[in-house]
Amino acid sequence: LLFTVYCSLFTVVHAEEKTITLAQASNLAIANYESVKLSEEDLHQAGDAIDKAISQMLPNITANGNYTKYSGSKTSGGFNVQPENNSSFDVTLTQPLYSGGKEWSLWRQAKKTTESGRYGLDAAKEGVVINVSHLYYNVLKAEKTVEIKETALKRAAEQRRVAGARFQVGDVTKAVVLRAEADVAGAEADLANAKKDLVVAKDKLTRFLGVSENFKVANPNIQPIPDASLDKLVPLSLEKRRDYIQSKLSEDIADEAISYAKGNFLPSLKLQGVYSQKDQSPKTTFFNDESIYGGITLTYPLFEGGLRKAELDEAKSKRRQAEFKRISLRKDIEVAVKETFHNLEAYNSIIESFKRQVSFAEENYNMVFKQFTYGLATNVDVIDANTTLISSQSNLANTQYDYQVAILELKKSVGILLEDMMEGK
């Protein structure tokens, strides 16, 4: 009965554990991770800035009400010059006609900022995808490490069994058995540490995904390598990279900021209309209870202590900064594309070397262990062969996963990672 209950619980636990692919993990992270939400809010604020800029061109209507209570009414020369109380209500319509082009410059800045925000949102998503990919493959590495350590523990236990059998017949000393026991204990500790690393790797991935239930990660297919030479990938990256496009938009925004600063040197013109209604008790002699009037106001700044020139110089300096940042980013992108491309090329030969190393290490271990079984090799030879085998297996597994991450890094460097993910590549 207890065995049946245990099996049922085991089945329920594993039935709830779902498998997540790399594409699903990326989509979950994009939907839940805070950096994407922050970029979405930046884009929303940029859209609000457009509305604010448009509001500068639209008429402004204000209403004012006033009530005044005096100590008493007063007369002078037979005229009532002060009432006991006075109330008024005004409605003012103000329409900006011209302000040196500043309102249009502000609107264009807001439009460019919104466009930059869209690219910034895509860049944030792409950054999340590459970060999730690293964490995803770290989980796969940790799982493979657990598998390697479990196999190593089995080999250590078999070595202990053989050492014990040989000790029973007097072929080896007690020291060989004790060393085998120590190796088993060490293998158990290594396995426990590997399992701990797997739990930590999963926790870090869960932080990005925003899920609480248990899950497994699927071993993804090898990503397709961008089909282009290095000479083509560098220009493509300058066309596709969102951050580089943003840097060019920053220059455009800085140009508009210069135009805005120049507008401070120009006159402004506005149209104003007022409707006013008043009431007094008692009414003064020349009281007018209602009036409507309008006017045009021309304002020209003559001197402001050098403020306008300082603002213009600051805007020009920021424009130069934007250009320097774009040039610096361009150089960094070129280096990043070349680095990831050469890393990818190197991984192919490294993986082949590690495959041969694993093959030789497995054959060497099997041969040395068989020799140890028959007394033709020492326990030190077995330990050395086992250490080499574990190291080569770990190197091969890690490099194979690093190769797949390097493909994603190259795509990110070129700026095509997000579109390939959306297209299911």
pLDDT in tens, 46-80: 999 999 999 989 999 999 999 999 888 888 777 87
- Residues 6 or more apart whose CB falls under 8 angstroms from that of 218 comprise 19, 20, 21, 22
Percent of the chain with pLDDT over 70: 95
DSSP string over 96-156: EEESTTHHHHHHHHHHHHHHHHHHHHHHHHHHHHHHHHHHHHHHHHHHHHHHHHHHHHHHH
Q: How confident is the model at residue 407 (pLDDT cuts 50, 70, 90)?
A: very high
Helix (H) or strand (E) holding 296: strand 290-299
CATH class of 18-58+99-265+306-422: mainly alpha
Q: Where are the alpha helices (DSSP H) in 17-101?
A: 22-32, 34-55
**Looking at the predicted structure, is the pLDDT value of residue 82 above 90?**
no
The backbone region for 65, taken as left when phi is positive above 0, alpha when psi lies in -120 to 50, beta otherwise, is beta
What pLDDT score does 398 carry? 96
What pLDDT score does 330 carry? 97
pTM here is: 0.83
142 or 212, which is more confident:
142
Q: Which residues pair with 216 in a beta bridge?
A: 19
DSSP 84: S
Helix (H) or strand (E) holding 67: strand 60-69
Measured CA to CA, the distance from residue 423 to residue 35 in angstroms comes to 23
What pLDDT score does 310 carry? 95
Name the average pLDDT for the chain: 90
pLDDT in tens, 285-303: 677 888 999 999 999 988 8
In this structure, the strands spanning 79-82 and 268-281 are: unpaired
Cβ atoms of 117 and 53 within 8 Å: the answer is no
Nearest to 237 by CA among 342, 335, 355: 335
Query: Which single residue is written with the structure tokens 């989509």?
Result: 27
**Looking at the predicted structure, is the pLDDT value of residue 134 above 80?**
yes
